[in-house]
Chain A
Amino acid sequence: MVSGSDARLVGQSYLQNLQVQSLAQHDRMLCFELLECLLDRYSDAVAALGDDLVYGICEAIDGEKDPRCLMLTFHLVEVLAWLFPEPSGPLASFAGDIFEILGCYFPIHFTHQQGDDFDIKRDDLSRALMLAFSSSPLFEPFAIPLLLEKLSSSLPLAKVDSFRYLSHCVLKYGVDRMGKHAKAIWSSLKDAIFTFSLQGNIFSLASDLPDTMGFEENDITKEALICLEKVILQNDGIFLSLIVDDEDVEMILRSVTISNSYNSLSVESKQKLLAFGRIIVVSAKISSSSCDRIFHFLFPRLMDILGLSSSSLSLECIPYGSPVSFGQLNFGAIYLCTELLAACRDLIVGSEDIAPQSVLMQVSWCCLLQRFSGPLTTFLSSSLVTSMKQENCDANIYSGVKGLRTLATFPGWFLPISKSIFENILTVFMSILTAGCEETLLWKLSLKALVQIGTFTEKFHDSERATSYMNIVVGKIVSSISLDDSSMPYSLKLDAIAEIGGSGMHFMLKVIQGLEEAISANFFEASSKGNLKSVEVLIPLLECFSKKVLPWFHKTSLFEDIVFHFVINIWNQMEANTTFNIGIKANELLDVTMMVMRQAVADCSEKNQGLIVQKAYNILSSSASFSLKEPMPLSIPLKTEGLQLTQNLQDFSCRDEWLISLFASVIMALRPQTCLPDVRVVLELFMSVVLKGHVPAAQALGSIINKLPATIDSVEVSRACTLEEAMVIISKMNLWSVNGNSSFRKCNVICKSVENLTDLDISANNNAMVQTNVLVGLAWIGKGLLMRGHEKVKDITMTLLRCLLSTINTELLPIQHGLSGNDSGQDMHPLVMKSAADAFHILMSDSEICLNKRFHATVRPLYKQHFFSIMMPILLSSITGSDSSITRSFLYRAFGHVISNTPLVAVITECKKLIPVLLDSLAVSSVDILDKDLTYSLLLVISGIIMDENGREAVTENAHIIINCLVGLLSYPHMMLVRETAIQCLVAMSGLPHVRIYPMRTQVLRAISKALDDPKRVVRQEAVRCRQAWASMASRSLYF
């Protein structure tokens, strides 16, 4: 514990004995730290030292150069100023001296590199110095002249820093002290803003829908504008008069409004115009009084220039569309006017929280605005309308739209804008929107403006305006859905509708209603009358619904009733319409409808989902073709089912296909908790349809299996069914046999049933097709099981494997012999085997359609890794064990599907064993053009292994075969990505130990020189890099 007197003694001795600047850097730093500690902790004690202390510190810090010490010295000055604030104290007498020391450092010139060991940056030093500068008003007589002087420096950094310091000091030094500098400050600000405002492009409208017209602020103007804001905030009277009375401003105002069109302005004038706009915005936004001042100064003059003041006496609105009779389009005036209005609006909107009434009382400018709002609106509207007809420059359009948008978004309680004007503005935008036959800038900006106005009215709960908006914009655009005007492309119209709907809840409700009506009307037309045109309209409508509207609801998660009614509505239509027939494009329409159905159902709650399922089920069961009765004894349906097996999908009537597909879509999207009616019946129904090759049914089966509860608490729902029961049903259906006595029992069943029907003349192909369908069904069921982590998936994969291994299984052949002779039996198998191999793809890959998070699937963590680790040993041993080349090729295929869908981390841990098989699999798949996606995904696995640090060892060991394989893929003709990736892999391979890869060098270079002549540019570029990587590892002659 150090007492106050001790501290004082230390201070005294310090001042008397220490010659700080003659010490080494580290010692100096200790001295400063000591001093800092004294000032911080024992301020009272050391303050008594008075003049001596201040003088001593001056001496100590004079000429300091080390950044670490400087940080301390700047802080010392700051503390000192805090210690002696009185204007006649010790600091006052030394202020000039201290500032002389400090002033040398400004602006901070910092030459240390970034990689230096002490982590002090230029910004830190600069900030510390700024705090020291502003620490005491006593520095004002010295600091402000210095800063103003540095503003005229040619060093950009000095300017930026000066403005930054000025902004900071102004507030600290106070109004009284700053008053006398006002003129000088303003003139420097003016210079900086007008001179440096623009060094890049002037209007960068090329970028997509800019919010502020391309005004690329550089640092100098940015700081200058901040500084302007600060000084006006402090003393608005003096600065605003300076701005208003400035002759230069007057001249600029005259020069930028001298010519009418934007293009005829010189670059310099454009620059001045933008800078002037910025000054207006900044100064008007500060307070309502400053806004008032600026507004009165500028607005009437602008109105004069635009030629509006004469007609301003009459408040009535000239109907829009009348040619511009007022003056001409003076771009400068319009631009300044819109900027000014936007600034006023921002001020009003920002101040709304504080006290609306008080703002209202003291603004006289709003009367002025109110007086001009009518003519101004008309003027801007007609300028936009004329610009629709003739070419106009983007800048004009931009300003016009912005002006109208600003006028329309003045808060209602402030009310300078009357209702009729608001409606006029909306009408203008709407007319632009509906006339817009293509996406022009005007069209895009108008749409955006409408959306913003909508969002604004919604946000401010302005009921009157909301009504206007609803009637004029939403109502009109919604009614245009059904109108068949060709002026606007349909997809564009739908985009606009979705955008506008998104601006507010009520608007969205209205939009939904309109869309629903249109959908159901067209659906009726299309389905009952086979109206081709309706089908064409319906597809984009449904797409819009699923892509724009449903995600919006998904986000807000309210109003699921609306979605529910939409779904029910579709089902009602399906029910009512018994002569359902859609001709051409039916499949496309069905796909879209199923997508919408899935998404909509997925968003519903359990209760509503239950209702939907019940409804769908009832409709389905009333259809004649699906006899949904209580399950019959399981042996009998097989026979009758067998009869139906002969049907193809084509045998379905159009309505039946729609019914079953939509029902399947509903089932796919259900939540796990939703109860299904008659699970058993539904399962059987789906299974019978699966045999006909109906994929959605298979997906629905998988979804059911995935979500069924493992146990049921009680018998509350008599028809409910657990997973176990469902599996029993499925296995009893003999899609496959769980007790694997016969290796190909499942097909046996089908074959047998087919055998009974030989008189129906079934070709072997048909038989193969049925088997293929069964495999697809199995794959989806297996996926459902796999994702929930159920062990039964093993049975399914075993069945799949048996299919793969069965070519040489002579047990099966007799059946085929009996059917259609030796040869056709041989023909049939590859197809079935292929689909068995592809079933692994279904099992492992992520599906967009069902069984994912969006559709509430039960997903066990790491299920892919788990499956991978189980399957790999089996597949590997089967591959080595098989001696038929066909079998092996299909095993490779299955292997490829599994490995390419497994997370890379899992693959890498096993990669030593896997690489050779992986390469073989790649070789097999690269033969057929149809397998190019598989080839690519396998190549990505290889590339992942090569890039990974942990795979390095295995890659080095197998370098030879990997390079051989990659070189082979360099000429893969069917996919550019494969060639590109192969070359990138080769580049990575060149980083391996040279001993391993050098022998392959010539071979690689030869192959690469061919890739230099690849038809695709990207491949050629990669080839150049690769060639260099491999060539430079040894002799550097021109050719290798």
Chain B
Amino acid sequence: MMASTLFRTIQIHPFLLYPTTLFRRRNGALYCTMKSTQTQTATQEKQQPSKVKVSQHTQSKTLDKIKRDYEAVIGIETHVQLSTLTKAFCSCPYNYGSQPNTSICPICMGLPGALPVLNSKVIEFAVKLGLALNCKLSLNSKFDRKQYFYPDLPKGYQISQFDIPIATGGYIDLDLPLEFGGGHRKFGITRVHMEEDAGKLLHSGNEDYSQVDLNRAGVPLLEIVSEPDMRTGIEAAEYAAELQRVVRYLGISNGNMQEGSLRCDVNVSIRPVGQLEFGTKVEIKNLNSFSSINRAIDFEISRQVLFHSQGQSDQIVQETRLWEEGAQKTVTMRKKEGLSDYRYFPEPDLPEVILSQVFVDSIHNSLPELPEMKRRRYEKMGLSMQDVLFLANDMNILFELLAKGGTVKGLIEEKDLVQIADPIEIGKMVDKVLSENPKQLGQYRGGKTKLQGFFAGQVMKLSKGKANPGLLNKILLEKLNAES
């Protein structure tokens, strides 16, 4: 069922921006460089020693074998942008896509003399999520200042929660999609805390300057940190998808990865099967869809396993890597020099957050039936797992079904929702798109591999969103890389 979720959420952007790559972190400070790190990456690629040519097929077969000796340990940090009417600490509204700096005030701009005042909805939403994730709520928590310098952070600190988050020690139940083997999973949630978002940086085309848009500064976020319980890319992707369902069910967020109202950073490490000690952890950013999460993790696991298998496990360093959608790989962004010192201290401008049990109970009583509850209920009703997942995991279908009646299968066919998974049919669509875009094809073959995303998007459009994404990309890559 994740596939159907995937097709609803993938909107492939032809030109992905990597804003943060322009600011390299060195010696704990961030600064703007004249050269783009993308160029550097390309240079690095060219400078890599040529590898022994082994057929891809053989390579992946061997790798699969080796992989079985290792276990991947994956944890995810998710930021959920809350859909409150106004920002966390001021009365500015937030609308994605507004003209830059049109939704700002002295408070979210960090002007001298301005002070934050907490939007009480933020607490309500945080408690809702904490309860939905089966967490223990801290009835007494507080805000802290997380301090660092960056142009999108107007005050020079972010109001967040450090040592006493509003919720801790929870878990989430989900079912893996049937096409990936199905199965029930339970993943731990370490903590949920409240914080404010930073603004956005827009980089000029020729990278001479950058501009600051503070519309997003001060928008409330909930940060969800998972236990490192996932073991595969699919598990991680489904975890993210389930979080999306939960926040949408609760009505606290759009949970939209493309708009940035749901953001995931994953941490991946591997260890030999049986070893208790964790391996070196690598953080991956720039994941804009569930399928990217899946593919990035799979790639990263392979990358790390390869090093291990060649006796070069010390080549795996603790760092942040970026997922490149076009090239379908992770690349170095910056090396983590230990933990940054954010000089946390309690936010003196805001009073302690005190929750009464009455308040918590009233929120508990107002929670809707969450996806997990629904799934278990449908299962008990005797529905097939496929129908269970389809129904419970897609709210729109559900609402329509309730309104109109009829069977699930009938509705699927009626809505022409059946996914296209026939490689020949997809192949035809890819051919069509490639022939209709000769200029871009030429550019791609000339080295602009980023354009894969563009083509994928065009095929998706052509298929009215029904093409199986995994298959699409596989076929697309084959055809793109074939000699014309």
A and B associate in one complex = no
Binding site for A on B (CB under 8 A): none
